[in-house]
A and B are shown apart, each in its own frame.
Chain A
Amino acid sequence: MGARISLRSGGAPEAFLGLWRGRLLCHKAGMGTNHTMSAGQAAALTMSGVTLALGGRSVLSGVDLVVPDGALVALIGGSGAGKTSLLRLVNRMVQPAAGQICVAGQDVAGIDAETLRRGIGYAVQGGGLFPHWTVADNIAAVPWLMGWDKPRRLARAAQLMEMVELPADLAGRFPGQLSGGQASRVGLARALAINPRLLLLDEPFGALDPETRHALADRLGALHRAQGLTTILVTHDIADALLRADLMLVLDAGRIVASGPPAEVARNPHPAVQALVSGPLELARTLTGLAGPGVAG
């Protein structure tokens, strides 16, 4: 598998002036950027020259990326690197100062924010389950927003609970009555509720014990493939990311410093990359008996 993700910091602004003309067609994925994706292949998500400042502080600068359809991307980086902000840009929870973001070839700036968000599966950091809604209501939140009737919502919730391996009798419980693993599964099910093409997961398994985390990661991997999803997963579990992800993105201080297949990223000499991957890499090697870097490819 060749490098299907491109990166370039500090993109040429003139290439993106079209952004301000309102609804517009996206640049063909990576046009004007140093991309390596083969022509004609659809990109689930592209960012070109994206810059973000929050409260006068620069959070992301010059982010260019192309996520091909169907990829499971692990987004890693130290805390404060801008991982969550990058996800929030995709569904317009924050607005970029410059640059263009396209989902399935459409500029998100031209899509109504609420419509866009309902179409993207998003699990926020910390779960964010509504404590006053039952498990079934939480899972069927987006269908409710879309105006589905109650029987249809309940049926969908039951289906999703089965998909994420939650016992059906939890449907009437409230989030406060769930274990951490169960709550994470509810968050995942909620994000999947209306079969989104794109799934954004912000540390969905952050606070769980390793056993539960691995079980959930397995389940996510299976769902990702079965549903033909494009998934971007922010994670601190580097070893897991190295093993499972198709592609990895490494953020450091608001810039993408490495991207590509895990084996390639692991060889990247950038100090920020090495600080993140060297330890887990040892662990991954030990666990899988891999001989050396790059074998995963």
Chain B
Amino acid sequence: MSGLDTLPAALAAHLAISAAALLLALLVAVPLALVMPARPWLRRGVMGFASVVQTVPALALLALFFPLLVLLRNVTGLPVPSLGLLPSLLALALYALLPLLRGLAGGLAAVPDAVRDAARAIGMSDWQRLFHVELSLAAPVVMGGVRTAAVWTIGAATLATMVGQKSLGDLIFAGLQLQDWRQVLLGCAAAAGVALLVDGALGWCQAGIAQRRWRPALQGLVLLLAIGGGVTGWWLQSLPASAAKPVTIGTKTFSEQYILAELIAADLAATGQPTSIRSGLGSGIAFQSVAAGGIDISIDYSGTLWTQALGRRTMPPRDVMLPILARELKARYGVTVAARLGFENAYALAMRRADAQRLGIKTISDLARVSRKLRLATDLEFQSRAEWTALQRAYGLGFADIRSFTPVLMMAALGDGSADIITAYSSDGTLAGNDLVLITDDRSALPAYDAVLLVAPGRDDLVARLARYEGRISVDAMRQANWQADRPTDKRSPAQAATWLKAKTGL
């Protein structure tokens, strides 16, 4: 089953990040809960903050830590990492804060005043009272909070993939994109299984504490250790024997990226170089990761880099754009454009062939005449990108309805008739498969989207090795490889599609 080989590492990372976040949250929550009862203003502030944090979608919370940490790095000058472990840890810990605080505050408030009083009256010190009376009595309720927090954290940790932290989300996001539902299910089942096991173990601990019996508490503790030990063991066993630091190739969340990453990984591996693939990075995160050196190689697109990384608004022709792009990326980020692969994966608009013929639409100019009666489905980022502004400005485009979807569901929306036009990618294999036509950008409002290989600062050795990819992959070859991975039947894994592509291009 695809994804099975990456499961041990993803599971181990998932468990580690969840446990670390939970511990961090506990370290913050316990002292807060102890000083809060005597300070109502603090209690209101802290509980209000924790509740507000809870209303922020976990994905947004994770993503928000990226600019925050970049700001921190710029302000302090310290080498604060803005991707991977740190933002995931902070966001997940924040997320765990509310259930922990609720449990602690509820548990401590439930300690009867007479009991507190008696503890003082018989001459217990403040610490003795805290540990032997207040926390001991509150423990069952507190453990309830810990259980809730543990389950939430393990669930939310799948999203850490989006900010470059390895987790079970790697399997889920890659599977979603490839429509490899078994892989999605594997990731989900692993996360749910771990959450259930941890919850069960903590449940035993809770029961043991509540009934003041050692046996169940010990059982729970042993189970927790067994989960941690088992996963760690499995992960260590799955590690390659090679001790050399692997070259990391980062991918965004779609098939083309997975296939090209596999192609490059296999290529490097053939020379004895260990590699690893960090899959499922958010579009902007992938570039930031390669710039920060968190990954060594990424695959990106000139138009995206032009508007997103360089913040340009003008759309010059590719011959003008590419040299400027390479120069600016090197100067501003230290990132090298190692090769232009030879195909373009342009942002484009697509519609069903039958509709296009019926409405007589070949170009976006044609579309603009009737677009106000049509419904547009876009990917998640299109409406906030400069390309959309450029299209509106150039053609005066407007739609009856615009909704955003993950790419897979966007195609489905077109399929079931809930959208008429979608944003598409010109190298997308499913265009042919679903009998869709691309609508020509006749006024060249959109920039070129030449696929390029980017190399992190200080990895000039890789630049030389990747130079041979220059101009070797045609859009037709790429589209076919993508279709092998994306088609609903007779699916190939990205690695298999990569093998096919290698043979086809003679690389």
Contact = CB atoms under 8 A, between A and B. Distances in A.
Contact of B119 (A115, A125, A130): A130
Contact of A117 (B121, B136, B212): B121
A132 B212 contact: yes
A123 to B, nearest CB: 8
A131 interface: yes
A118 B123 contact: yes
A113 B129 CA distance: 14
A207 B104 CA distance: 31
A173 B231 CA distance: 42
A131 B115 contact: yes
A146 to B, nearest CB: 9
Contact of A145 (B116, B124, B212): B124
A80 interface: no
A128 B114 contact: yes
B123 A145 contact: yes
A128 to B, nearest CB: 3
B124 A114 contact: yes
Interface in A55-69: none
A113 B125 CA distance: 9
B114 A117 contact: no
Nearest to A122: B121
30 contacts: A91-B121, A93-B121, A114-B123, A114-B124, A117-B120, A117-B121, A117-B123, A118-B122, A119-B123, A122-B121, A124-B117, A124-B118, A125-B117, A126-B112, A126-B113, A126-B114, A128-B112, A128-B114, A128-B115, A128-B116, A128-B121, A129-B118, A130-B115, A130-B137, A132-B136, A132-B137, A132-B212, A141-B122, A142-B122, A145-B123
A130 B114 contact: no
B141 to A, nearest CB: 13
Contacts of B121: 91, 93, 117, 122, 124, 128
Interface hub of A114, A116, A118 (most chain B Cβ within 10 A): A114
A127 B128 CA distance: 19
A4 interface: no
Interface in A171-223: 190
A119 B122 CA distance: 8
Contacts of A118: 122-123
Interface residues of A, number: 23
Contacts of B118: 122, 124, 127-130
Nearest to A118: B123
A127 B136 CA distance: 19
B133 interface: yes
Given A124-B117, A132-B137, 16 more contacts: A91-B121, A113-B123, A114-B123, A114-B124, A114-B125, A119-B123, A122-B121, A128-B116, A128-B117, A128-B118, A128-B121, A130-B115, A132-B136, A132-B212, A141-B122, A145-B122
A198 to B, nearest CB: 13
Interface string A104-122: 0000000001111111001
Contacts of A126: 112-114
Nearest to B118: A128
Interface string A91-102: 101000000000
A84 to B, nearest CB: 9
A100 B231 CA distance: 65
Contacts of A113: 123
Given A128-B121, A132-B212, A145 B128 contact: yes
A115 B112 contact: no
Contacts of B124: 114, 145
Interface string B86-128: 0000000000000000000000000011111111111111001
B114 A127 contact: yes
Contacts of B112: 126, 128, 131
Contact of A129 (B115, B123, B125): B115
A127 B116 CA distance: 11
A30 B489 CA distance: 101
B492 to A, nearest CB: 61
A122 B114 CA distance: 12
B118 to A, nearest CB: 3
A142 B123 contact: yes
Interface hub of A129, A130, A142 (most chain B Cβ within 10 A): A130
Nearest to A92: B120
Contacts of B119: 128, 130
Nearest to B125: A114
B209 to A, nearest CB: 9
Interface hub of A114, A115, A124, A145 (most chain B Cβ within 10 A): A124
A188 B133 CA distance: 19
A141 B119 CA distance: 9
A255 to B, nearest CB: 24
A124 B112 CA distance: 12
A68 B23 CA distance: 56
Contacts of A128: 112, 114-119, 121
B122 A117 contact: yes
B232 to A, nearest CB: 35
Contacts of B128: 145
A142 to B, nearest CB: 5
A294 B124 CA distance: 44
A130 to B, nearest CB: 6
Interface hub of B117, B121, B124, B136 (most chain A Cβ within 10 A): B121
Interface in B124-150: 124-125, 128, 133, 136-137
A138 B123 CA distance: 13
A122 B212 contact: no
Interface in A136-172: 141-142, 145
A176 to B, nearest CB: 12
Nearest to A193: B122
Contacts of B133: 130
Contacts of A119: 123
Nearest to B210: A132
A137 to B, nearest CB: 10
Contacts of A122: 118, 121-122
A116 to B, nearest CB: 8
Contacts of B114: 124-128
B124 to A, nearest CB: 6
A128 B117 CA distance: 7
Contacts of B116: 128
A116 B119 CA distance: 14
A128 B133 CA distance: 11
Contacts of B117: 93, 124-125, 128
Contacts of A114: 123-125
A279 B120 CA distance: 36
B444 to A, nearest CB: 76
Contacts of A141: 122
Nearest 4 interchain pairs by C-beta = A128-B118, A118-B123, A117-B123, A126-B114
Nearest to B117: A124
